[in-house]
Amino acid sequence: MKINIAVNAATGRMGQQIINQATSSSSVELVAAFCRSGHPFFGKTVRGTGSENDIKYTNEIQFGVSSSQVVIDFSLPSVSLSLLDVVVKSNTALLIGTTGFNQKEKETIEKASQKIPIMLESNTSIGANMMMKLLSVAAKSIGQDAHIEIIEYHHKNKIDAPSGTAIKLGNIICEASNSNLEDRSVYDRRENKHVRAQDEIGVSVVRAGDIVGKHQILFALDNENITIEHEALSRECFAAGALKAAKWLTHQKNGLYTMQDYLKA
């Protein structure tokens, strides 16, 4: 039985990737694609849908959400938050791949998850989340003995920095020692002219070209280095992971989930 999905910010880079995979999938049915009324795609038929399933780009969010079992949203924090009330009223699951939320906004999402299943995930790639599992093991085993650096690379148009994934990687490292990323992170050594402290986590950001996404974690030990790395070669890996997780999410109880929860299933 197919799962009915709606895609918010459907004309964006990730929205288009999700639509491309959804319209060729035998396990999901695209029932709505949302975009702003001023976009050139507005009112046009979504590519890959035929006369029997004539889905058009629309801003009629309430109607589209009510027809779906799960909404996939890769947009902006303000747009994602405006979507919350609609999905809660419709009792529709929501996968949020948007990044850049502040703490208050995250708390708003968590509150909404008491009423519907929500996945809040900065990186829906299966490979990237397997990297996080490996990172957790390494941080617990050698994190106290290593100098740790996180380097993240993204395309020139990415606004938030560091990336949501980089922050998540830092938090995974800190969880291993019950420490706080805010206390340990160093983002600009030009402003921190001192000998490196043992527990520092350096975070470096690259914004260039059309880099889809690359994350490296360096564990520098005496006489040897270990690097854990994941690189997305196209946005297809994020879309594929998002669709798999969205289908899984429709069968979950109310609550706040991540991709790690999906991988445990």
Report the pLDDT averaged over residues 224-231.
98
pLDDT tops 80 at residue 19? yes
Instruction: Report whether CATH 3.40.50.261 matches the domain 126-232.
Output: no
Catalytic residue selected from 154, 215, 230, 247? 154
pTM: 0.85
Residue 208 has pLDDT above 60, yes or no: yes
Residues of the chain with CATH 3.40.50.720: 3-120+235-264
The confidence score (pLDDT) of residue 123 equals: 92
> DSSP characters for the chain?
-PEEEEEETTTSHHHHHHHHHHTT-SSEEEEEEE--TTSTTTTSBPTT--GGG--BEE--HHHHHHT-SEEEE-S-HHHHHHHHHHHHHHT-EEEE------HHHHHHHHHHTTTSEEEE-S---HHHHHHHHHHHHHHHHHTTTSEEEEEEEE-TT--SSS-HHHHHHHHHHHHTTT--HHHHEES-GGG--SPPPTT-EEEEEEE-TT--EEEEEEEEETTEEEEEEEEESSTHHHHHHHHHHHHHHTTSPSEEE-HHHHHH-
Q: Are 249 and 69 in contact (CB under 8 A)?
A: no
Does residue 30 surpass a pLDDT of 60? yes
Angle between helices 164-175 and 126-142 (to 10 degrees): 30
CATH 3.30.360.10 in the chain: give the residue spans. Answer: 126-232
Contacts of 167 (CB under 8 A, 6+ apart): 122, 181
Model confidence pLDDT, tens digit, residues 167-193: 999 999 999 999 999 999 999 888 777
Residue 217 predicted with pLDDT over 60: yes
**pLDDT tens string 82-123:** 999 999 999 999 999 998 899 999 999 999 999 999 999 989
**pLDDT reading at 51 higher than 70:** no
Does pLDDT of 241 surpass 90?
Answer: yes
Amino acid at 179: S
Residue pLDDT, tens place only, 132-167: 999 999 999 999 999 999 999 999 999 889 998 999
pLDDT at 156: 96
Q: How many CA atoms lie within 13 A of 264 on its CB side?
A: 8
Strands 93-96 and 70-73: parallel
Class of domain 3-120+235-264: alpha beta
Q: What tokens were used for 213?
A: 């996404």
Q: Which of 140, 155, 158, 214 is catalytic?
A: 158
State the burial class of residue 210 (Cβ atoms within 10 Å of its Cβ: 0-12, 13-18, 19+): exposed
What average pLDDT does the segment 242-246 reach? 97
Active site residue 158: yes
For residue 50, pLDDT over 60 is answered with no
